[in-house]
Amino acid sequence: MQALNLPETELKVTTKDGKQHVFDILRRKYVALTPEEWVRQQFVHYLISHKGYPAECIGNEISLTLGGTKKRCDSVVYGQGAQPVMIVEYKSPQVEITQQVFEQISRYNIKLRVKWLVVSNGLHHYCCQIDYESGTYRFVEDIPPYGNICFTNENI
């Protein structure tokens, strides 16, 4: 798989029925190793190992219903009281991060109303903080540590 713009981590990869699978530490099972899944697994390890996100506060493939149709958030980070605080959308490294990707994650946020939106293709990462009181948002340069998104009201 392609090298990403994330700290290196060793993932458990196996071959089943001629196809590669990677162990998802959050779902505790092997899943098909696609380019997008490669990004997800590397990014989740980055959040846990480098940003202090507790594994038990992150969920992969979180289902929700929008307008009568079922959708899935790639990852959702939960804070105090198991309230969602961040949605993360992953794309394959070959997929350009466009306005359409932000529109997709924004649709998910209609339901979850989180304060943080993150989009990554493994090479480029974008993090947006939403201020519902003022009706504004701003992009921040780096993914904030878990403590900053869950336990403080300070701006990063």
**Where does 13-150 sit in CATH, by number?**
3.90.1570.30
User: Is the pTM for the entire model greater than 0.85?
Assistant: yes
Return the domain boundaries, the chain: 13-150
- Residue from 136, 134, 137, 130 nearest 112 by CA: 130
What is the structure's pLDDT at 151? 59
> What is the C-alpha separation between 44 and 26, in angstroms, rounded?
9
pLDDT tens profile 4-62: 999 989 999 999 999 999 999 999 999 999 999 999 999 999 999 999 999 999 999 98
Would you say residue 130 has pLDDT above 60?
yes
Give the Å distances, CA to CA, from 131 to 6, 13, 85, 128.
28, 40, 12, 10
pLDDT in tens, 63-84: 888 888 898 999 999 998 889 9
Please tell me the predicted confidence (pLDDT) of residue 67.
82
